[in-house]
Structure 1
Amino acid sequence: MSAIAVSAAFAIVGAESDGLRVLHYLFKPLTTLLVAAMVWRTAANEHGYRRAVLAGLLLSLLGDVFLMLPGDWFAFGLGSFLLAHLCYLRAFRLRGEWLRPIWPVLAYGVIAATVLAYLWPHLPVELKIPVVVYVVALAGMAAQAACIWRQRPDGAALLATAGGACFVLSDALLAIDRFAMAIPLASVWVLLGYWAAQWLIGASVMPVTDTSRN
């Protein structure tokens, strides 16, 4: 945990300082890789869940690289993170039923619709449909995590639920800052939320008593 926090701090400092940009290039992917290593070392009795979370983290690592490359690689980063969220959605499905109860679905649906409505006039035409698809996948992932917590309210489900919420917050801030309105210290808030999300989802890989879904 301490290595992840230190690596994340260096990446954030590099993102905020042009003179230290090399720190961002080195430590941004390293931080996500350290979270993946944490998951790899974690004892677990739901191996399908751990594999799906690891796949999501490695796809996120690919997205990290795309988003920090020179030039406009945003669409490639978006695609990588879309696949990562589908992996997390798969993991959460292994622990319970699809999207039940309905209230987390409705809550995240309202949040997603609100963010999309705000962003829509500012989005480039070629990104409108990809962003809609991405937001639906992101909101669905977070809602599924919350649904599992309601179905089996254990510590692992609570961590995943918090991770999903942090992902929604981080990505909303990223999109607003990129397309609609500059946010002071945006990279700080976005990256803090992002790695909180990844760590929380990674930490949800733990031995659990109910393995009937895996």
Structure 2
Amino acid sequence: MAALPTYIVLLATLSVAAMLFADQRAPQLEWLFKPLASLCFVALALQAGALESTYGLLLLSGLILCLFGDVLLIPANDNTFIAGLSSFLLGHLLFALAFLQLPPKQSAMLISLLPVAALGIISLRWLWPHLPPNMKAPVCAYVAVICAMLIAASSSWGTGPGAWIILGAWGFAISDLSVARNQFFSPRFSNRLWGIPLYFGSQLLLAWSVSLT
């Protein structure tokens, strides 16, 4: 395994901190710091050797789609939100395909079915009363894809990058709840305060998992 490039992690950490600090004072700065933080997880995957394997290429493609999704979620309107949701959905699918490139452990996938189903059902029951009619189908599709990604991530248990993948995938999924809460029924800074660091930290874990394959 190559040495973790701490300068990329440090830049990502500073970008996330600056984004949160500017949230209440200069929201327009999100256009600078959010893409910069997203570029960090793409750069980390490249540094980890993402161009050298099918796993790496699929994961890198998913990370790039997430970068686009991050930018599309900056404006506060429904059209760009749906576009961002679609970009993340495709990114999750590519992550799932990447995870399945590793030697799959079917027993781990079976064990994961219950907690993954619980997350999906609880999330939809929580969100459903607050979703506008035009968002119900896209959100259902998104939750289904997240669940598929988590099950695929569990198949990596016991492989070199397995712990990084599982932590990153679950962190990513849970961070989505902060976005949903902020978008649909309780827009507060507290959502971003925990959701944004969890999201970017999870993406960095997934990006560096490439170095362990």
Q: Distance in 2 between matches of 1:195 and 1:45?
A: 21
What do you get for the CA RMSD once the two structures are aligned?
1.9
- Provide the TM-score with structure 2 as the length reference: 0.88
**What displacement does 1:153 show?**
4.2
In structure 1, the partner of 2:59 is 53
Alignment of 1:1-214 (within 5 A): 1-14=9-22, 16-17=23-24, 19-43=25-49, 47-72=53-78, 73-97=80-104, 100-101=107-108, 102-149=110-157, 152-154=158-160, 156-182=161-187, 185-208=190-213
* Distance of 1:121 and 1:144 partners within structure 2: 29
- The answer for unaligned runs of 5 or more in structure 2 is 1-8
- Report the TM-score when normalising by structure 1: 0.87
Q: Could you list the per-position Cα deviations for residues 45-90 of structure 1 after superposition, in whole angstroms to 9, with x for gaps in the alignment?
A: 9611111111111101111111002533111110000001011001
Could you tell me how far apart the structure 1 residues matched to 2:88 and 2:106 are? 21
- Contiguous gaps of at least 5 residues in structure 1: 209-214
Q: Equivalent residue for 2:3?
A: none
Aligned length: 203
- Kindly, what percent of the aligned residue pairs are identical? 31
Note the C-alpha offset of 1:25. 1.2
| Separation (CA, whole Å) in 2 of partners of 1:90 and 1:194 | 20
Separation of aligned partners in 1, 2:72 and 2:185: 21
